[in-house]
Structure 1
Amino acid sequence: MDEAILDEREFSKQLNQNNQRAFLKMIEAYEKKIAPSMRAQGYKRINQKERTVIFSFGEMTFIRSRWKKGDTVRIPVDEKLGLEPRQRFSQELLYQITELSNYMPYRKVVAVMELLKKIYITKNTVQHALEVAGQLINEKEEYDSLSVQSWTEEEKEKVKPKILYVEGDGVWVKRSTDKKKKSLELTHFVVHSGSKKGKRNVLMDKLEVVSTHYQRAKDKLLDLIYQHYDIDSNTLIVTNSDGGKGYSPKVFKELADAFNPKKHFHFWDAFHVNQALKKNLSPFPSGLVNQAFKAIKNRDKSGLKTVLDTAESLIESDERLEAFQRFSRQLMKNFRFTDKPESFGLSSNGIGIMESQHRKITYRMKNRGMYWSKKGANAMSQTILLSHTGELRDLFFGEWRSHFDTMKDQEKNTSGLPCHDENKNYTLPQLKRTNVKKKWGEHMIEERD
Structure 2
Amino acid sequence: MVNGNTSTATIFSLLDGIENFNTLEEVILQIARRLLVAVLEALDDALMPAKPKRYRIAGFRYRTITCLYGDITFKRRLYVKATRKKKRGEGRFLLDEALNLRQGKRLTGRLLKLAVSLATRLPFRQAAEIMAEAGMGQLSHMTIHSEVKRNGLEQKGLQEALRNKLFVSGEEPQGKKKKVPALFIEADGIMIPLQRSKQERIEVKVGIVYEGWIEKGNARHLKNPRVVMGIYEDGEQFWEALTTEIARYYEIDEKTIYVVNGDGASWIQKTAKEQLPGAIVQLDRYHLHRDIRQAYGNETARGLMEILAKGQEQVFLDTMEALIEEAPNRKNKQQRQKVYDYCQRYRDNLLDYRLRLPRQLEGLKLYGMGVAETTVDKKIAIRMKKRGMSWSEAGATAMVALLMLKANGELAAWLEKKMPQVEKNPVKVIKEKKIVKEDVEAWLRKRVPALVGPEAGTDWVKYTLRQLTRISGAIF
Please give the range of the TM-score, normalised by the shorter of the 2 chains. 0.7 to 0.9
Letter in 1 for 2:267: G
Do 1:195 and 1:350's aligned partners in 2 also have CA atoms closer than 8 Å? no
What is the DSSP-based 3-state SS (H/G/I as helix, E as strand, rest coil) of the residue aligned with 2:189? Answer: strand
Cα distance in 2 for residues equivalent to 1:57 and 1:350: 50
Per the TM alignment, residue 76 of structure 1 is displaced from its structure 2 partner at its CA by 2.4
Q: Which residues in structure 2 correspond to 1:138-287 (within 5 Å)?
A: 138-141=156-159, 144=162, 156-178=175-197, 181-198=199-216, 201-215=220-234, 216-248=237-269, 250-257=270-277, 264-282=279-297, 286-287=298-299
Match of 2:391 among 372, 379, 390: 372
Per the TM alignment, residue 147 of structure 1 is displaced from its structure 2 partner at its CA by 8.1
Q: 1:33 to 1:18 in 2, by over 3 A?
A: same
The worse-fitting range, judged by mean Cα deviation, of 104-113 and 41-50 is 41-50
Q: 1:120 to 1:360 in 2, by over 3 A?
A: same
Q: 1:116 to 1:330 in 2, by over 3 A?
A: same
Q: Is there any run of 5+ residues in structure 1 with no aligned partner, and where?
A: 258-262, 403-449
Per the TM alignment, residue 42 of structure 1 is displaced from its structure 2 partner at its CA by 6.2
Cα distance in 1 for residues equivalent to 2:180 and 2:70: 48
Aligned residues: percent identity? 20
Cα distance in 1 for residues equivalent to 2:348 and 2:163: 38
- How many residues are paired up? 390
Q: 1:353 to 1:46 in 2, by over 3 A?
A: same
Q: Does 2:53 match 1:45?
A: no
1:145-182 CA-to-partner distances (Å, cap 9, x unmatched) read 688879789x612221211222211022233345x754
Q: Which residues in structure 2 correspond to 1:34-433 (within 5 Å)?
A: 34-39=47-52, 43-68=55-80, 73-141=91-159, 144=162, 156-178=175-197, 181-198=199-216, 201-215=220-234, 216-248=237-269, 250-257=270-277, 264-282=279-297, 286-315=298-327, 320-343=332-355, 344=357, 345=360, 347-349=365-367, 351-358=369-376, 359-398=378-417
Per the TM alignment, residue 105 of structure 1 is displaced from its structure 2 partner at its CA by 2.1
The worse-fitting range, judged by mean Cα deviation, of 191-200 and 10-19 is 191-200
RMSD: 3.4
Cα distance in 2 for residues equivalent to 1:350 and 1:290: 17
Q: What is the TM-score with the length of structure 2 in the denominator?
A: 0.72
Per the TM alignment, residue 60 of structure 1 is displaced from its structure 2 partner at its CA by 0.9
The worse-fitting range, judged by mean Cα deviation, of 166-175 and 313-322 is 313-322
What is the DSSP-based 3-state SS (H/G/I as helix, E as strand, rest coil) of the residue aligned with 1:103? Answer: coil
Partner residue of 1:432? Answer: none
The worse-fitting range, judged by mean Cα deviation, of 380-389 and 95-104 is 380-389
Q: 1:321 to 1:146 in 2, by over 3 A?
A: closer
1:210-236 CA-to-partner distances (Å, cap 9, x unmatched) read 112243433322322233321223221
The worse-fitting range, judged by mean Cα deviation, of 273-282 and 365-374 is 365-374
Partner residue of 2:474? Answer: none
Cα distance in 1 for residues equivalent to 2:76 and 2:184: 55
Letter in 1 for 2:47: I
What is the DSSP-based 3-state SS (H/G/I as helix, E as strand, rest coil) of the residue aligned with 2:276? Answer: helix
Letter in 1 for 2:115: I
What is the DSSP-based 3-state SS (H/G/I as helix, E as strand, rest coil) of the residue aligned with 1:398? Answer: helix
Q: Does 2:42 match 1:21?
A: no
Do 1:268 and 1:338's aligned partners in 2 also have CA atoms closer than 8 Å? yes
